[in-house]
Structure 1
Amino acid sequence: MRVVTHSGTFHADDVFASAILRAALGEFDFIRTRDQETIASADIVFDVGGVYDPSTGRYDHHMRDLPRREDGTPYSSVGLVWRDYGRNALERFVPGIEEGALDAVWQDIDTGIILSIDLADNGISSASPGHLALLIETFNPTWDSKQTYDEAFTEASELASGILQRAGRQAYAEAKAMAFVLGAARGGKSPQVIVLDRKLPWEKAVFEGGLTDALFVIYPNEDSTAWYCRTIPPEPNSFGQRLTLPEAWRGLQEEAFSKAAGIPDGVFCHPGGFICGARSQASVIELAERAIAAGSQADAV
């Protein structure tokens, strides 16, 4: 199989597209050129050639009637390649990924890294210093460099591959965490308290999984020597709480906190009232239940 893109200066879209195709298709003959005969004879062409036709493996976007997403956002070559080859690439980027999580992980990367590059490449949003697109462009040889553009492109593509691997594994871990949290919430004793037997990301499950009744999340620290009762904010990235821990607990530690909260093994309650801890799961569940009861009493007054 022969895959072709343009020679010379490269950008994030063609670099990432090459990494995706390499993961999806394995080994192939890769050529960077602007020679029309070579382009015409290739099996897959991206970011060059003036043709967009997935049925013939043509993925250029430099034309007036360029391909767009459903919402009208224009694709760059990486968006087009990710759309058609991303799921196959993920099977290599994330070995062992479950089929049921494939679409969620694909979507996560598409709306993050891939869309960001599409927008920057098409001038829809400016690439601020530190943007991934600009970081990739720094791999282009300087005027006084002896490195060829093809050598530099290979280095940039290896970096892109590593980023996609990491992003895929992060997204897969998040997808598994979401399923785990939703299962714990639905199988729990109370819809107001989510009890987890390990520490993992829970926010996405709460806000995207419709857990509107949940007030507290219970989970252990990394070595299970302590357990935490964490309040849930009203919306993502908020510093507020759906239900704040009782005022009488806040800022107390160890014996003082244990006495105020009525448990034998309290560790602390943060002065901000958003998290408290104890040495056993049973105690932090009791803390959540007492906080809910206290909140109900306050509402009734």
Structure 2
Amino acid sequence: MKVVTHSGTFHADDVFAFSILREALGTFDFTRTRDTALIDAADLVFDVGGVYDIARGRYDHHMRDLPRRPDGTPYSSVGLIWRDFGRNALPNLAPGIDEDLLDVVWQDIDNGFVLAIDQADNGVASVSQGHLSLLIEAFNPTWAGDQSYDDAFLEAADFARGILFRACRQAHAEAQAQSSVLSAARKAQDPRIIVLNRKLPWEKAVFEGGLRDLLFIIYPNEDTTSWYCRTVPPEPNSFGQRLSLPEAWRGLQEEEFSRIAGIADGVFCHPGGFICGARSQESAVMLAEKAIAAGQ
């Protein structure tokens, strides 16, 4: 397969598009050029050529009638390539990904990582210092250097691949966590309390999964020597609580906390009333149940 993009100065969209294609297609004949004959002879062309035609493998976006996302945001080459090749790339970018999580992870990367590059490349969003797009552009050779643009492009693509790999792995882990939380919710005896067998991110599952009755999450610390009873906030990234822990528990530790809370192995209760802990799962669940009873 012959793949072509433009020569000369590169940007984040063409660099990341190339990185995605490498993971999706494997080995291919790659050329950076603006030679019309070479562009016409290629099997797949992105970010150059003035043509957007999926059937012909043409993925440029530099025309008046440029391709747009459903919400009207203009695509850049990375958005187009991710849309059509991202799912095929994901098994290499998120090793071990299950088939049923492909679309979830693909959408997560598209909504954040890829969309941000589309917006920056098309001037839809402002680009501040340190933006990913500027980091990629910094790989372009300086006037005082002797590195070729093609060599610099490949160096930038290797850098981009590392970023993309980490982003996809994180999105995959988040999707797995969401699946685990929703599974635990389905098995819960009381919809107000969920018990997780390990510490993992749970807020996205709560709010996107519609767990409106949930009040407390029970989970172990990293070494499972104690268990947390964490209140659920009313909205994402908030320290508020749908139901606060009892005022009488707050700021207490060890024996005093155990005595006031009525359990045998209490560890602490945060003064803010949003988290407390015990040394056993059973006691952590009991703390949740006692907090619910006190709040009724």
Q: Which range, TM-score by smaller chain?
A: over 0.9
Secondary structure (helix, strand or coil) at the match of 1:113 reads: helix
The residue that corresponds to 1:268 in the other structure is 268
| Residue matched to 1:113 | 113
1:24 and 2:38 aligned: no
* Structure 2 match to 1:196: 196
Looking at structure 1, the residues matched to 128 and 241 of structure 2 have their Cα atoms a distance apart, in angstroms, of: 33
Aligned mates of 1:176, 1:113 — CA distance in 2 = 19
Partner SS for 1:229: strand
Alignment length (residue pairs): 296
Tell me the SS of whatever aligns to 1:243.
coil
Q: Residue in 1 aligned with 2:137?
A: 137
Any idea what SS the aligned residue of 1:129 has?
A: coil
Q: CA deviation at 1:210?
A: 0.5
Q: Which runs of 5+ in 2 are unaligned?
A: none
Q: Which residue of 1 aligns with 2:288?
A: 288
Cα distance in structure 2, aligned partners of 1:135 and 1:191 = 46
Partner of 1:162: 162
In structure 1, the residue matched to 2:98 is: 98
Alignment of 1:1-301 (within 5 A): 1-296=1-296
Q: Any idea what the Cα deviations from partners look like across 1:252-271, whole Å, max 9, x if unmatched?
A: 11111111101111100000
**Aligned-pair CA distance for 1:163:** 1.3
Structure 1 residue ranges (4+ consecutive) displaced by more than 4 angstroms after TM superposition: none
Task: Write out per-residue CA displacement over residues 56-93 of structure 1, whole angstroms, 9 at most, x where no aligned residue.
Answer: 01000000000001111110000000000000010111
Letter in 1 for 2:216: F
Which deviates the most, 92-101 or 274-283? 92-101
Ranges in structure 1 where 5+ consecutive residues have no aligned partner: 297-301
Structure-2 separation of matches of 1:241 and 1:136: 41
TM-score, structure 2 normalization: 0.99
Partners of 2:231 and 2:166 lie apart in 1 by: 30
Question: Which one-letter code corresponds to 2:98 in the other structure?
Answer: E
Q: Deviations over 1:137-193 (max 9, x none)?
A: 111111111111111111110111111111111111111111111111111110000
Output the amino acid matched with 2:241: Q
Q: How large is the Cα RMSD of the aligned pairs? A: 0.7
Letter in 2 for 1:283: S
- Whichever residue aligns with residue 7 of structure 1, its letter is S
Indicate the SS of the match to 1:219: strand
Corresponding letter in the other structure for 2:141: P
Instruction: Please report how far the alpha carbon of residue 42 of structure 1 lies from its aligned counterpart in structure 2 after TM superposition.
Output: 0.5
Task: Tell me how far 1:207 sits from its aligned partner.
Answer: 0.3
Residues 162-171 or 35-44, more deviating: 162-171
- Tell me how far apart the structure 2 counterparts of residues 10 and 86 of structure 1 sit (CA, whole Å): 21
